[in-house]
Structure 1
Amino acid sequence: MTTVTVTTEIPPRDKMEDNSALYESTSAHIIEETEYVKKIRTTLEKIRTQMFKDEVRHNSTNHSLDTKLEASREAGAAALRDVARRLFENYQTQSEEVRKKHEDSKHLLQVNKVEKEQKLKQHVENLNQVAEKLEEKHSQITELENLVQRMEKEKRTLLEKKLSLENKLLQLKSSATHGKRCQDLQMEISTLQEQISHLQFVIHSQHQNLRSVIQEMEGLKNNLKEQDKRIENLKEKVNILEAQNKELKTQVALSSETTRTKVSKAVSTSELKTEGISPYFMLIRLRK
């Protein structure tokens, strides 16, 4: 508050009349100045009141901004925690899916490997059976060849004997006194011819058997070659499955390690700090 003090000096009476006009002028000026001071005072009061209101409004606005900022930070931190939780759950789900997929692939590879090993075992058994049959056929062919050779030798012996008897019969026919001997020779020659014919039939049959056994042996050889190819093919497939199984185990280990690293990064407490950092900035950084 401003106080205005007015001091009036009273002149001597002999000068009062002379200065009356001046006094009236000074009083009017003082009144005018007093009104001016009042106006200034009123204006200052209004300004101070307005400043007080502005300060109150400013403080209220700052408090509201602080409240909103705190609420924004809390909302951002809550959103960040929710994102971290969902990321952790997502990584857990993905890790479980990857683990299950790898386990299924591993099981499928194991089943295929067992199946191929069983087929390989069966083909090896078939190969051994074919080898045994080949050995049997080889022995059978050898026996048939020896038998045919003996029959051929016996046939030649019978033919030689028959030829000798026929020559002897021709010699005896020239003499009438050897009629009985000629009949005996003819009967013996006829018997030899029957033996030779029968032996020839047997030799022919054995030749057919020999050709049949040789054909069977050739078929077994082809079967043996086919079994060898199948066995080699199955061995190669088993080796491939073993390599795939080994590679899958390595991938499972790497995937598990990568998943653990990602989950650890997603829930790191250092990334959940909100002090001095905008939550929305952290949320954007976490999504990178």
Structure 2
Amino acid sequence: MTTTLIVTQHVVRENQGTKGNDLLYGTTAAEINEETEYIKKIRATLAKVQPLLGKSQSSHWIANGQQETKPHLQEPGVESDKEPTSFDCKETMKKMKEAEEELLRVNQEKEMLKIKLEASRAAGAESVKNASEKLHEDYQKRLGELKKRQEGIMQVMKAHKLKQEQKLKESTDNLIPLNGELLEKLIETEEMEKRVQRMEEEKKKLNYKKRALKETLQQMMSKAENTKRCVGVQTEISTLQEQISHLDRLIHSQHQNLHSLIYQIEELNNELKHQDENIDLLKEKLEMLQAKNKELKYKVEFYSSQSKPKVSKAVSAKIDGYLPYAMINRLRR
């Protein structure tokens, strides 16, 4: 009895419009994984078919050998099955040859797929590299411009800070003579007040003496005493009146001088207050400038210490390439 194994090979071909467009640029990881799984299934199927083909060929040759060793057992009149066996062998060999040719074609398409895939990876990597380099150049350019602008602002702020410090120094220096002048005015005012006070006391004494002499003169005139003595008292009263008038003029003058000194002291106090306000304002400005300068310095150091951006590499996935790309496209549709 002869065992004949008939192998049916299903070959899937892809009707392609333009050769070389099988591999699309930018295949996603999900599609690659799907293709990989399909490749594994086809490989497993081929692995199962190949042992069966070998087993069928061995059975065929064993059957032929048994028939050759026992030709004398064939009874007369019984037709020999040699011709059908030979026909089955030829069919099997033909199908095996077709299967081998199909496997060869599959391997060729697999190699072509590998080449196209590598070309796509290289093109993608080069594209990503070029884009990354351009991005890096733009980044470096903007970083340089920003750093230059920050340094320019720092220079302007530094000059402004020096100017404010100079103003603060001048204002502080002006306080010394103002304080000295104010102290002199205060001392002069105090002395003038004391002098006016003494004049007032002297005026009181003269007025008291004048009133006493007037009373004496009235008593003398009422008693009709010596006229010569009365004239002497009147002369003394006139002298006292002149002294009192002179003191009045001096006191009035001193009061005017005192008012002038008080006005000058008020002006000096206002000037000192204004200088103090300027000093406080300049100190605040200096503190703000120092804070901004510190912030700008930190930014410049931060931008200068930034590492160069890394160039991205194209993402690739290894594909088990035992399946023609035409089958993948057929499965995808």
TM-score normalised by structure 1 residue count = 0.64
1:15 corresponds in structure 2 to none
1:129 is displaced (CA, Å) by 4.5
Q: How many equivalent pairs are there?
A: 246
Contact persistence 1:87–1:266 (CA under 8 A): no
Name the residue aligned to 1:70: 118
- Maintained 8 Å contact 2:121/2:316: no
Q: 1:33 — aligned with what?
A: 82
1:35 and 1:237, CA in 2 relative to 1: closer, same or farther beyond 3 A? same
Q: What is the deviation of 1:35?
A: 5.2
Matching residue within 215, 225, 245 for 1:197: 245
Identity %: 38
Q: Which structure has more helix as a fraction of its residues?
A: 1
Q: How far apart, CA to CA, are the structure 1 residues paired with 2:231 and 2:102?
A: 165
Give distance in 2, aligned partners of 1:91 and 1:266: 12
**What one-letter code is carried by the residue in structure 2 that aligns with 1:280?**
V
Q: Distance in 2 between matches of 1:39 and 1:247?
A: 92
Match of 2:99 in 1: 51
Which consecutive aligned stretches of 4+ in structure 1 deviate over 6 angstroms post-superposition? none
Q: Match of 2:315, SS?
A: helix
TM-score, reference length from structure 2? 0.57
Of 152, 155, 164, the residue aligned with 2:203 is: 155
What's the CA shift for 1:56?
3.9
Deviation at 1:57, TM superposition (A): 2.0
What is the CA–CA distance in structure 2 between the aligned matches of 1:280 and 1:53, rounded to whole Å? 35
Cα distance per residue 1:87-120 (max 9 Å; x no partner): 4224413532542353255235424423432442
Q: Distance in 2 between matches of 1:136 and 1:84?
A: 77
Unaligned ranges ≥5, structure 2: 1-59, 69-74, 318-333
Q: Distance in 2 between matches of 1:246 and 1:43?
A: 89
Structure 1: tracts of 5 or more residues without a match: 8-21, 273-278, 283-288
- Find 1:114's aligned residue among 158, 162, 165: 162
- Mapped pair 1:235 → 2:283: yes
Structure 1 CA distance for aligned equivalents of residues 316 and 286 of structure 2: 54
User: Following TM superposition, by how much is the alpha carbon of 1:126 offset from its aligned partner in structure 2, in angstroms?
Assistant: 4.3
Q: 2:227 aligned with 1:178, yes or no?
A: yes
**Structure 2 letter corresponding to 1:155:** K
Tell me the equivalent position of 2:310.
266
User: Which structure has the higher relative contact order (CA within 8 Å, separation 6+)?
Assistant: 2
